[in-house]
Chains A and B, each alone.
Chain A
Protein backbone atom coordinates (compact mmCIF):
# COMPACT_ATOMS: atom_id res chain seq x y z
CA UNK A 1 0.00 0.00 0.00
CA UNK A 2 1.23 3.49 -0.85
CA UNK A 3 2.24 5.74 2.03
CA UNK A 4 2.25 8.86 -0.10
CA UNK A 5 -0.21 11.66 0.60
CA UNK A 6 -3.02 12.19 -1.91
CA UNK A 7 -1.59 15.48 -3.20
CA UNK A 8 1.77 13.78 -3.83
CA UNK A 9 0.08 10.99 -5.82
CA UNK A 10 -1.92 13.55 -7.78
CA UNK A 11 1.17 15.53 -8.72
CA UNK A 12 2.84 12.31 -9.93
CA UNK A 13 -0.23 11.43 -12.01
CA UNK A 14 -0.33 14.90 -13.57
CA UNK A 15 3.32 14.56 -14.61
CA UNK A 16 2.86 13.01 -18.05
CA UNK A 17 6.06 10.96 -17.92
CA UNK A 18 5.09 9.43 -14.55
CA UNK A 19 1.31 9.25 -14.79
CA UNK A 20 1.26 5.45 -15.01
CA UNK A 21 3.34 5.11 -11.86
CA UNK A 22 1.11 7.66 -10.13
CA UNK A 23 -1.98 5.78 -11.15
CA UNK A 24 -0.53 2.53 -9.84
CA UNK A 25 0.07 4.28 -6.52
CA UNK A 26 -3.51 5.55 -6.47
CA UNK A 27 -4.95 2.10 -7.15
CA UNK A 28 -2.63 0.56 -4.59
CA UNK A 29 -3.75 2.99 -1.92
CA UNK A 30 -7.51 2.76 -2.43
CA UNK A 31 -8.27 -0.53 -4.14
CA UNK A 32 -9.17 -2.47 -0.98
CA UNK A 33 -11.35 0.20 0.61
CA UNK A 34 -13.25 0.78 -2.60
CA UNK A 35 -13.53 -2.93 -3.32
CA UNK A 36 -15.18 -3.69 0.03
CA UNK A 37 -17.41 -0.64 -0.26
CA UNK A 38 -18.66 -1.94 -3.61
CA UNK A 39 -18.74 -5.57 -2.56
CA UNK A 40 -21.03 -4.87 0.41
CA UNK A 41 -23.54 -3.36 -1.98
CA UNK A 42 -23.45 -6.00 -4.74
CA UNK A 43 -22.37 -9.00 -2.60
CA UNK A 44 -20.83 -10.93 -5.54
CA UNK A 45 -17.05 -10.82 -6.03
CA UNK A 46 -17.27 -10.88 -9.84
CA UNK A 47 -19.64 -7.94 -9.91
CA UNK A 48 -17.52 -6.03 -7.41
CA UNK A 49 -14.42 -6.70 -9.50
CA UNK A 50 -16.08 -5.37 -12.68
CA UNK A 51 -17.40 -2.26 -10.93
CA UNK A 52 -14.07 -1.56 -9.22
CA UNK A 53 -12.18 -1.74 -12.49
CA UNK A 54 -14.71 0.52 -14.21
CA UNK A 55 -14.46 2.91 -11.30
CA UNK A 56 -10.68 3.24 -11.65
CA UNK A 57 -10.99 3.61 -15.41
CA UNK A 58 -13.42 6.49 -14.87
CA UNK A 59 -11.09 7.95 -12.25
CA UNK A 60 -8.18 7.75 -14.68
CA UNK A 61 -10.16 9.46 -17.44
CA UNK A 62 -11.50 12.17 -15.15
CA UNK A 63 -8.48 12.80 -12.96
CA UNK A 64 -7.49 15.93 -14.89
CA UNK A 65 -10.89 17.40 -14.07
CA UNK A 66 -10.40 16.83 -10.34
CA UNK A 67 -9.80 20.30 -8.93
CA UNK A 68 -9.16 19.32 -5.33
CA UNK A 69 -12.27 21.05 -3.96
CA UNK A 70 -13.02 17.84 -2.04
CA UNK A 71 -10.74 15.14 -0.71
CA UNK A 72 -9.46 12.70 -3.32
CA UNK A 73 -10.77 9.87 -1.17
CA UNK A 74 -14.37 11.20 -1.14
CA UNK A 75 -14.20 11.86 -4.88
CA UNK A 76 -13.18 8.22 -5.46
CA UNK A 77 -15.96 7.00 -3.18
CA UNK A 78 -18.51 9.09 -5.06
CA UNK A 79 -17.49 7.59 -8.40
CA UNK A 80 -17.50 4.07 -6.97
CA UNK A 81 -20.92 4.62 -5.38
CA UNK A 82 -22.45 5.99 -8.57
CA UNK A 83 -20.98 3.14 -10.61
CA UNK A 84 -22.41 0.62 -8.16
CA UNK A 85 -25.87 2.18 -8.06
CA UNK A 86 -25.97 2.28 -11.86
CA UNK A 87 -24.92 -1.38 -12.00
CA UNK A 88 -27.55 -2.42 -9.45
CA UNK A 89 -30.26 -0.53 -11.32
CA UNK A 90 -29.31 -2.14 -14.64
CA UNK A 91 -29.15 -5.59 -13.08
CA UNK A 92 -32.56 -5.16 -11.44
CA UNK A 93 -34.08 -4.06 -14.75
CA UNK A 94 -32.71 -7.16 -16.48
CA UNK A 95 -33.72 -9.63 -13.79
CA UNK A 96 -37.19 -8.42 -12.85
CA UNK A 97 -38.49 -10.09 -15.97
CA UNK A 98 -37.55 -13.55 -14.72
CA UNK A 99 -37.23 -13.26 -10.95
CA UNK A 100 -39.61 -11.95 -8.33
CA UNK A 101 -36.96 -10.76 -5.93
CA UNK A 102 -33.43 -10.89 -7.34
CA UNK A 103 -31.92 -9.38 -4.15
CA UNK A 104 -33.19 -12.27 -2.03
CA UNK A 105 -31.77 -14.75 -4.52
CA UNK A 106 -28.44 -12.93 -4.29
CA UNK A 107 -28.46 -13.05 -0.49
CA UNK A 108 -29.40 -16.72 -0.65
CA UNK A 109 -26.40 -17.38 -2.88
CA UNK A 110 -24.08 -16.01 -0.19
CA UNK A 111 -24.30 -19.35 1.65
CA UNK A 112 -22.69 -21.08 -1.32
CA UNK A 113 -20.26 -18.27 -2.09
CA UNK A 114 -16.67 -19.48 -1.49
CA UNK A 115 -15.61 -15.87 -0.94
CA UNK A 116 -18.08 -15.25 1.87
CA UNK A 117 -17.02 -16.19 5.38
CA UNK A 118 -19.99 -14.86 7.28
CA UNK A 119 -22.38 -16.94 9.37
CA UNK A 120 -26.12 -16.70 9.99
CA UNK A 121 -25.80 -13.31 11.70
CA UNK A 122 -24.02 -11.76 8.73
CA UNK A 123 -26.55 -13.20 6.28
CA UNK A 124 -29.36 -11.90 8.47
CA UNK A 125 -27.80 -8.42 8.42
CA UNK A 126 -27.50 -8.60 4.61
CA UNK A 127 -31.21 -9.48 4.41
CA UNK A 128 -32.09 -6.64 6.80
CA UNK A 129 -30.20 -4.18 4.62
CA UNK A 130 -32.18 -5.31 1.59
CA UNK A 131 -35.31 -3.99 3.30
CA UNK A 132 -33.88 -0.48 3.42
CA UNK A 133 -34.34 2.24 0.81
CA UNK A 134 -31.16 2.64 -1.26
CA UNK A 135 -30.01 5.84 0.38
CA UNK A 136 -30.53 4.59 3.95
CA UNK A 137 -28.65 1.42 3.05
CA UNK A 138 -25.75 3.44 1.67
CA UNK A 139 -25.55 5.70 4.71
CA UNK A 140 -25.72 2.72 7.06
CA UNK A 141 -22.95 0.88 5.20
CA UNK A 142 -20.66 3.90 5.02
CA UNK A 143 -21.18 4.66 8.68
CA UNK A 144 -21.22 1.16 10.13
CA UNK A 145 -18.74 -0.72 7.93
CA UNK A 146 -16.49 1.98 6.49
CA UNK A 147 -16.69 4.07 9.67
CA UNK A 148 -16.80 7.31 7.71
CA UNK A 149 -17.72 10.59 9.39
CA UNK A 150 -20.96 12.34 8.47
CA UNK A 151 -18.89 15.09 6.89
CA UNK A 152 -17.21 12.59 4.56
CA UNK A 153 -20.50 10.88 3.71
CA UNK A 154 -21.97 14.31 3.06
CA UNK A 155 -19.20 15.05 0.53
CA UNK A 156 -19.68 11.68 -1.16
CA UNK A 157 -23.47 11.74 -1.42
CA UNK A 158 -23.95 15.51 -1.66
CA UNK A 159 -26.46 15.49 1.22
CA UNK A 160 -26.49 17.63 4.35
CA UNK A 161 -25.11 16.11 7.54
CA UNK A 162 -28.44 16.60 9.30
CA UNK A 163 -30.29 14.59 6.65
CA UNK A 164 -27.61 11.88 6.82
CA UNK A 165 -27.94 11.57 10.60
CA UNK A 166 -31.69 11.17 10.21
CA UNK A 167 -31.23 8.54 7.48
CA UNK A 168 -28.74 6.61 9.57
CA UNK A 169 -30.97 6.53 12.65
CA UNK A 170 -33.95 5.41 10.55
CA UNK A 171 -31.79 2.66 9.06
CA UNK A 172 -30.55 1.50 12.47
CA UNK A 173 -34.10 1.38 13.79
CA UNK A 174 -35.28 -0.71 10.84
CA UNK A 175 -32.37 -3.13 11.05
CA UNK A 176 -32.90 -3.54 14.78
CA UNK A 177 -36.58 -4.20 14.20
CA UNK A 178 -35.71 -6.80 11.54
CA UNK A 179 -33.38 -8.56 13.98
CA UNK A 180 -36.07 -8.61 16.66
CA UNK A 181 -38.71 -9.98 14.34
CA UNK A 182 -36.39 -12.62 12.86
CA UNK A 183 -34.65 -13.60 16.08
Chain B
Protein backbone atom coordinates (compact mmCIF):
# COMPACT_ATOMS: atom_id res chain seq x y z
CA UNK B 1 0.00 0.00 0.00
CA UNK B 2 1.20 3.49 -0.82
CA UNK B 3 2.25 5.82 1.98
CA UNK B 4 -0.63 8.09 2.77
CA UNK B 5 0.33 11.75 2.71
CA UNK B 6 0.61 13.17 6.17
CA UNK B 7 -1.83 16.00 6.76
CA UNK B 8 -0.33 18.18 9.46
CA UNK B 9 -3.49 20.13 10.15
CA UNK B 10 -5.39 16.90 10.83
CA UNK B 11 -2.95 15.49 13.35
CA UNK B 12 -4.69 14.14 16.40
CA UNK B 13 -7.97 13.58 14.56
CA UNK B 14 -9.69 10.33 15.52
CA UNK B 15 -10.12 8.47 12.25
CA UNK B 16 -12.63 6.09 13.77
CA UNK B 17 -15.12 8.21 15.68
CA UNK B 18 -18.09 6.11 14.64
CA UNK B 19 -19.32 3.29 16.87
CA UNK B 20 -22.01 0.70 16.45
CA UNK B 21 -24.59 -0.80 18.83
CA UNK B 22 -23.11 -3.66 20.83
CA UNK B 23 -23.05 -6.94 18.93
CA UNK B 24 -24.12 -5.26 15.69
CA UNK B 25 -21.56 -6.98 13.50
CA UNK B 26 -22.13 -10.40 15.08
CA UNK B 27 -25.72 -10.70 13.89
CA UNK B 28 -25.24 -9.06 10.52
CA UNK B 29 -24.86 -12.23 8.44
CA UNK B 30 -28.19 -13.57 9.75
CA UNK B 31 -29.95 -10.24 9.17
CA UNK B 32 -28.77 -10.12 5.55
CA UNK B 33 -29.57 -13.76 4.85
CA UNK B 34 -33.03 -13.22 6.34
CA UNK B 35 -33.50 -10.30 3.96
CA UNK B 36 -32.61 -12.64 1.15
CA UNK B 37 -35.55 -14.83 2.19
CA UNK B 38 -38.09 -13.19 -0.22
CA UNK B 39 -36.67 -15.11 -3.23
CA UNK B 40 -37.51 -18.29 -1.29
CA UNK B 41 -41.02 -16.93 -0.84
CA UNK B 42 -41.07 -16.27 -4.57
CA UNK B 43 -40.07 -19.89 -5.13
CA UNK B 44 -43.08 -20.89 -3.07
CA UNK B 45 -45.24 -18.68 -5.26
CA UNK B 46 -43.77 -20.35 -8.33
CA UNK B 47 -44.44 -23.75 -6.79
CA UNK B 48 -48.02 -22.70 -6.02
CA UNK B 49 -48.39 -21.40 -9.56
CA UNK B 50 -47.12 -24.72 -10.88
CA UNK B 51 -49.55 -26.52 -8.63
CA UNK B 52 -52.38 -24.32 -9.88
CA UNK B 53 -51.41 -24.90 -13.49
CA UNK B 54 -51.34 -28.65 -12.90
CA UNK B 55 -54.77 -28.44 -11.28
CA UNK B 56 -56.11 -26.53 -14.27
CA UNK B 57 -54.56 -29.04 -16.68
CA UNK B 58 -56.08 -31.93 -14.72
CA UNK B 59 -59.48 -30.20 -14.71
CA UNK B 60 -59.33 -29.62 -18.47
CA UNK B 61 -58.36 -33.26 -19.06
CA UNK B 62 -61.22 -34.39 -16.87
CA UNK B 63 -63.60 -32.12 -18.73
CA UNK B 64 -62.46 -33.42 -22.13
CA UNK B 65 -62.79 -37.04 -20.96
CA UNK B 66 -66.25 -36.34 -19.55
CA UNK B 67 -67.29 -34.71 -22.82
CA UNK B 68 -65.98 -37.67 -24.82
CA UNK B 69 -67.80 -40.16 -22.62
CA UNK B 70 -70.97 -38.08 -22.80
CA UNK B 71 -70.79 -38.00 -26.59
CA UNK B 72 -70.18 -41.75 -26.68
CA UNK B 73 -73.20 -42.33 -24.47
CA UNK B 74 -75.31 -40.04 -26.60
CA UNK B 75 -74.29 -41.92 -29.72
CA UNK B 76 -75.15 -45.21 -28.06
CA UNK B 77 -78.48 -43.80 -26.92
CA UNK B 78 -79.25 -42.65 -30.45
CA UNK B 79 -78.51 -46.13 -31.78
CA UNK B 80 -80.76 -47.60 -29.12
CA UNK B 81 -83.44 -45.09 -30.02
CA UNK B 82 -83.16 -46.04 -33.67
CA UNK B 83 -83.44 -49.74 -32.83
CA UNK B 84 -86.46 -48.92 -30.68
CA UNK B 85 -87.98 -46.95 -33.56
CA UNK B 86 -87.44 -49.80 -35.99
CA UNK B 87 -89.04 -52.22 -33.56
CA UNK B 88 -91.92 -49.85 -33.05
CA UNK B 89 -92.43 -49.52 -36.83
CA UNK B 90 -92.29 -53.29 -37.24
CA UNK B 91 -94.80 -53.77 -34.48
CA UNK B 92 -97.00 -51.12 -35.99
CA UNK B 93 -96.86 -52.77 -39.40
CA UNK B 94 -97.59 -56.16 -37.89
CA UNK B 95 -100.53 -54.67 -36.05
CA UNK B 96 -101.72 -53.15 -39.30
CA UNK B 97 -101.37 -56.51 -41.04
CA UNK B 98 -103.34 -58.18 -38.28
CA UNK B 99 -106.15 -55.81 -38.93
CA UNK B 100 -106.34 -56.76 -42.64
CA UNK B 101 -109.36 -58.75 -43.56
CA UNK B 102 -107.87 -62.21 -43.92
CA UNK B 103 -111.08 -63.59 -45.22
CA UNK B 104 -111.01 -61.19 -48.13
CA UNK B 105 -107.43 -61.97 -48.79
CA UNK B 106 -108.13 -65.65 -48.64
CA UNK B 107 -111.14 -65.47 -50.90
CA UNK B 108 -109.27 -63.31 -53.35
CA UNK B 109 -106.49 -65.83 -53.53
CA UNK B 110 -108.96 -68.60 -53.71
CA UNK B 111 -110.72 -66.98 -56.60
CA UNK B 112 -107.48 -66.41 -58.43
CA UNK B 113 -106.27 -69.95 -57.86
CA UNK B 114 -109.53 -71.54 -58.83
CA UNK B 115 -110.31 -69.63 -61.93
CA UNK B 116 -112.08 -72.07 -64.11
CA UNK B 117 -110.72 -72.15 -67.61
CA UNK B 118 -113.13 -71.76 -70.34
CA UNK B 119 -114.09 -75.14 -71.72
CA UNK B 120 -113.64 -73.94 -75.27
CA UNK B 121 -110.12 -72.91 -74.56
CA UNK B 122 -109.37 -76.25 -72.99
CA UNK B 123 -110.68 -78.02 -75.95
CA UNK B 124 -108.79 -75.76 -78.31
CA UNK B 125 -105.56 -76.24 -76.52
CA UNK B 126 -106.16 -79.85 -76.03
CA UNK B 127 -104.38 -79.79 -72.78
CA UNK B 128 -104.60 -83.43 -72.29
CA UNK B 129 -102.45 -83.98 -75.32
CA UNK B 130 -99.86 -81.40 -74.53
CA UNK B 131 -96.41 -82.31 -73.34
CA UNK B 132 -95.56 -81.09 -69.85
CA UNK B 133 -92.87 -78.73 -71.22
CA UNK B 134 -95.41 -76.99 -73.44
CA UNK B 135 -97.76 -76.60 -70.57
CA UNK B 136 -95.13 -74.68 -68.73
CA UNK B 137 -94.69 -72.30 -71.69
CA UNK B 138 -98.37 -71.72 -71.69
User: Residue B20 contacts which of A20, A40, A45 (CB distance < 8 angstroms)?
Assistant: A45
Query: What residues of chain A lie closer than 8 Å to B2, measured between beta carbons?
Result: 149-150
DSSP majority for the B interface?
Answer: loop
Knowing A31-B28, A147-B1 are in contact, say whether A57-B36 is a contact too (CB < 8 A): yes
Q: Contact at B1–A122, with CB atoms within 8 Å?
A: no
Q: From A53, which residue of chain B is reached at the shortest CB distance? A: B32
Report Cα–Cα, A122/B31, bound state, in Å: 31
Interface size on B, residues (CB 8 A): 26
B13 CB-CB contact with A under 8 Å: yes
Q: How large is the interface on A (under 10, 10 to 19, 20 to 34, 35 or more residues)?
A: 35 or more
CA distance A35 to B25 in the complex (A): 9
Partner of B29, one of A24, A35, A115: A24
With both beta carbons as reference points, the residue of chain B lying nearest to A32 in the complex is identified as B25
A117 contact set on B, CB distance < 8 A: 14, 17-19
B105: which A residues are within 8 A, CB to CB? none
B23–chain A nearest beta-carbon distance, Å: 13
Residues of A within 8 A of B12 (CB): 121
**In the complex, A24→B29 CA distance in Å?**
6
Interface residues of B (CB under 8 A from A): 1-2, 4-5, 7, 9-10, 12-21, 24-25, 28-29, 31-33, 35-36
21 A–B contacts, CB within 8 A, in A order? A20-B33, A27-B29, A27-B32, A35-B20, A36-B18, A45-B18, A49-B24, A53-B31, A53-B32, A115-B18, A115-B20, A119-B14, A121-B12, A122-B17, A147-B1, A149-B1, A150-B2, A172-B5, A175-B9, A176-B9, A179-B9
Beyond contacts A35-B25, A119-B14, A122-B17: 7 other A-B pairs, Cβ-Cβ < 8 A, are A20-B33, A24-B33, A39-B18, A117-B14, A117-B19, A172-B5, A180-B9
